[in-house]
């Protein structure tokens, strides 16, 4: 898929385009350098569309998480399973996969980090899912396509691009002030002089 040009579309437009692609593909990847807005776009997609699924899960900053904890969380959130006694996390994989096949599930994997993280989750069940007409979807982001290319089709790759000036300003304001409105005119004047 070609890059989504920031100067032509809003963040919501981009999220809608990603959702349209998710309707065609089992797993979609946002690819681009760190700090370009992949996580922001992931969050927007999740926020706008998670309620269209029976179950959903947003795995934030996957690369810094213990993979076994992630598997347990998926089992709880997707399969409604409460874990009462310790079990080796690999034993959960089949159950998680079955939940993804039998239900309509959205899993957003933010910053997968390395290939081994994606492989450890065994969420790349697209061949199996195709056989059973799976309605579940996975959105993953990563800085390096090489990490993901063995698990996804080229048509499921979205190259992210830099934010335009106004989008960058709104993104900055949100992270500094936790909202994009209500910033004083003095600060606006200083910001635009930078």
- pLDDT tens for each residue of 26-53: 888 888 888 778 888 899 999 999 999 9
Predicted TM-score (pTM) of the model is 0.72
Does the pLDDT value for residue 61 go beyond 50? yes
Does 37 share its domain with 68?
A: yes
**Phi-psi region at 35: left, alpha or beta (left = phi > 0; alpha = psi -120 to 50):** left
In the predicted model, what is the mean pLDDT of residues 17-25?
A: 91
Share of the chain above pLDDT 70, in %: 68
Enclosing domain of residue 172: 164-194
The domain spanning residue 91 has which CATH number? 3.40.50.300
Does 154 share its domain with 182?
A: no
In the predicted model, what is the mean pLDDT of residues 159-176?
A: 67
Does 50 share its domain with 128?
A: yes
Q: Is residue 95 part of a domain?
A: yes
Q: How many domains does the chain have?
A: 2
Does the pLDDT value for residue 160 go beyond 60? yes
Q: Is residue 77 part of a domain?
A: yes
Does the pLDDT value for residue 108 go beyond 90? yes
In the predicted model, what is the mean pLDDT of residues 156-170?
A: 72
The CA distances from residue 28 to 60, 94, 106, 186, in Å, are 16, 22, 11, 42
Residue 146: what pLDDT? Answer: 84
Please report which helix (H) or strand (E) contains residue 139, including its range.
strand 137-142
Does the pLDDT value for residue 113 go beyond 60? yes
Which residues, in sequence order, are CB contacts of 81 under 8 Å at separation 6+?
A: 75, 95
Does 98 share its domain with 168?
A: no
Highest mean pLDDT among 46-50, 81-85, 156-160, 179-183 belongs to 46-50
Highest mean pLDDT among 37-46, 48-57, 95-104, 183-192 belongs to 48-57
Q: Is residue 151 part of a domain?
A: yes
Does 105 share its domain with 188?
A: no
């Amino acid at each position: 898929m070609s890059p989504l040009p920031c100067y032509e579309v809003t963040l919501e437009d981009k999220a809608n385009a990603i959702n349209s692609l998710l309707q065609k593909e089992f797993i979609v990847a946002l690819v681009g350098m760190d700090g370009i807005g992949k996580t922001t776009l992931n969050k927007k997609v999740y926020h706008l569309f998670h309620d269209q699924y029976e179950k959903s899960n947003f795995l934030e900053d996957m690369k810094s998480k213990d993979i076994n904890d992630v598997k347990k969380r998926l089992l709880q959130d997707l399969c409604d399973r409460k874990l009462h006694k310790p079990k080796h996390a690999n034993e959960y994989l089949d159950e998680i996969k079955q939940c993804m096949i039998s239900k309509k599930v959205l899993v957003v994997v933010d910053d997968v980090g390395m290939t081994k993280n994606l492989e450890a989750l065994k969420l790349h069940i697209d061949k199996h899912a195709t056989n059973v007409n799976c309605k579940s979807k996975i959105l993953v982001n990563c800085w390096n396509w090489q990490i993901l290319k063995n698990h996804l089709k080229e048509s499921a790759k979205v190259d992210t691009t830099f934010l335009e000036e106004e989008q960058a300003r709104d993104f900055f304001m949100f992270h500094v002030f936790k909202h994009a409105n209500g910033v004083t005119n003095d600060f606006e004047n200083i910001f635009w002089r930078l």
